[in-house]
Every structure is written in C-alpha cells, then in structure tokens.
C-alpha cells in the first residue's frame, strides 16, 4: 500500500503552520512534507515530528526570494555561491529533521543568458548538491513543473528531466514525479511511472484541473495508486493539493489508504 505524506504548505491552511503537524497525525498520515522549513528553528520542527510520530518525507532547498517570484536559483549563473550555501542550509535542517529526501527547484530560466550557460550552471550545481547530499546519506531529487502554473520554469517534462539527470549522474540525483504537473504536460501517467520507477524517489499528487483533492478531477487515482504499488515503489507520495473548502472536509479520498 502506498504511504502518504501530508503537504503542510497546502493542507490545513486555516490553522497555524505548527499546529498542522497534529492535524496530519490525527488524519492518519505517517509523514509530512512542505516547501520550506527555514522560517522555523529546526529543533522546534523536530520536536513536532517526534511528538506526533511523523516522518519528514521531503522539503526543498531554499529557492531564492519566493515572495518576489523566484522559484529556485539552480539555473542562475550569477547565484552559484548562494546556491552552494543553500545546500549547506538545507542539509543542516535535513539532518536534524531526519528528512528522507531533498528537492532542488531548478528555477525560472533567465532570458538574458545563453541556453548553454544555463544548462551548464544547472548541471554543475546539481553535481555539487548531489555530492554534499550523498555525504549525508540523503537522496536528492529534482522535479518538472507545468508551464501553466509556473511559466518559464526550466524543467517541464519527464524526458527533459531524465536527460538532465543522465548528464549529472543517474545514480546521484533522482526524479520527483508530480502526477498533477505531468498530467498537464504529457499525460500517459501509468506507463511513464512503470518505465521510470527505478529513477523516482518521491511522488506528489493533486487532481486536474484545479489542483484539487484526488477524485475531484480527471485522474483515476485508485488506478494510479495500484500501479505505483504494483511497480514496487516504496517511497512517499506527497499530498500536495488545494482543498476545495477545508482540508478535513475533503480528506475522504485518503480513508482507504490509512496504515
């Protein structure tokens, strides 16, 4: 049976962030994920995880100035030093939180930089991050994001992302497969998951259209979950969706999968 992590950035937004850990545990989740832990002391987050018996499934590396529209800095040639520092910050948190997987957001490609330079920068940054993460024993992943939600984001498809990872080192960086993003960009979800499961270290979900709860859109999630199970995937599936009303009102999809 798949194991699910509640995305605390997206779920239970009606209450304070630190109170969402308890809600996730009450709902039956065994793990949590969220975009960034860095606004909170790592010891306080670790205490919440331990108190509620939760695993920190994933969080992202720092992604630049999020409020100003930045969605990662790994593709920015003039921010390499900042990126390297961000790797250290992420690993400091990950070690204390016992984070299972770290995600690198590639970022929005700068328009005034040659394509070759952008790619070279991204490959170099990922090699650096992978080497540091490997020392800590923490898998590193990157994800592809649809062009509708984040126009200009550098990685958009499975093929593009896996080609990048081939150049970085296929044993060093893995794919975070977001079902919602990939349904928008390419569809063919189950065959893609089956063909590439060995390279996938984390999965995320939401339904389409609208990024809502499973069961509110066009994706046949019971079929998807069974296919993931049958393919032998043992990692986490992050519930990264926008509740239609309150989180509790839309959590019924999860009932059959509580451990």
Provide the annotated active-site residues.
143, 240
Closest Cα to residue 56, out of 110, 93, 2, 19?
Answer: 93
Contact in structure between 73 and 82 (CB atoms under 8 Å)? yes
Angle at which helix 115-136 crosses helix 80-97, to 10 degrees, equals: 30
Interatomic CA distance for residues 54 and 71, integer angstroms: 27
- CB 121 within 8 Å of CB 77: yes
Q: CA Rg, the chain, in Å? A: 17
**Which helix H or strand E contains 176, and what residues bound it?**
strand 173-178
What is the DSSP track for 79-102? GHHHHHHHHHHHHHHHHHHT-SEE
Q: Which residues pair with 143 in a beta bridge?
A: 176
The C-alpha angle with vertex 245 and arms to 147 and 29, in degrees rounded to 5, equals 85
């Amino acid at each position: 049976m798949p194991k699910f992590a509640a995305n605390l950035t997206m779920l239970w937004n009606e209450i304070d962030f630190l109170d969402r850990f308890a809600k996730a545990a009450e709902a039956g989740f065994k793990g949590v994920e969220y975009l960034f832990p860095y606004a909170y002391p790592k010891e306080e987050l670790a205490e919440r995880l331990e108190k509620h018996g939760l695993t920190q499934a994933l969080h992202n590396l720092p992604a630049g100035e999020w409020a100003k529209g930045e969605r990662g800095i790994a593709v920015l040639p003039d921010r390499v030093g900042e990126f390297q520092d961000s790797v250290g910050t992420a690993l400091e948190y990950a070690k204390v939180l016992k984070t299972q997987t770290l995600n690198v957001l590639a970022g929005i490609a700068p328009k005034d930089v040659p394509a070759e330079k952008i790619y070279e920068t991204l490959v170099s940054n990922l090699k650096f991050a992978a080497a540091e993460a490997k020392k800590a024993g923490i898998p590193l992943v990157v994800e592809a994001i649809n062009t509708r939600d984040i126009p200009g984001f550098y990685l958009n498809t499975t093929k593009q992302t896996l080609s990048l990872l081939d150049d970085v080192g296929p044993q060093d960086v893995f794919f975070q497969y977001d079902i919602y993003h990939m349904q928008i960009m390419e569809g063919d979800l189950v065959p893609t998951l089956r063909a590439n499961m060995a390279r996938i270290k984390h999965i995320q979900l939401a339904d389409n259209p609208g990024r809502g709860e499973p069961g509110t859109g066009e994706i046949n999630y019971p079929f998807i979950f069974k296919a993931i199970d049958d393919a032998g995937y043992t990692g986490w599936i992050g519930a990264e969706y926008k509740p239609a009303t309150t989180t509790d009102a839309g959590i019924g999809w999860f009932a059959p999968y509580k451990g």
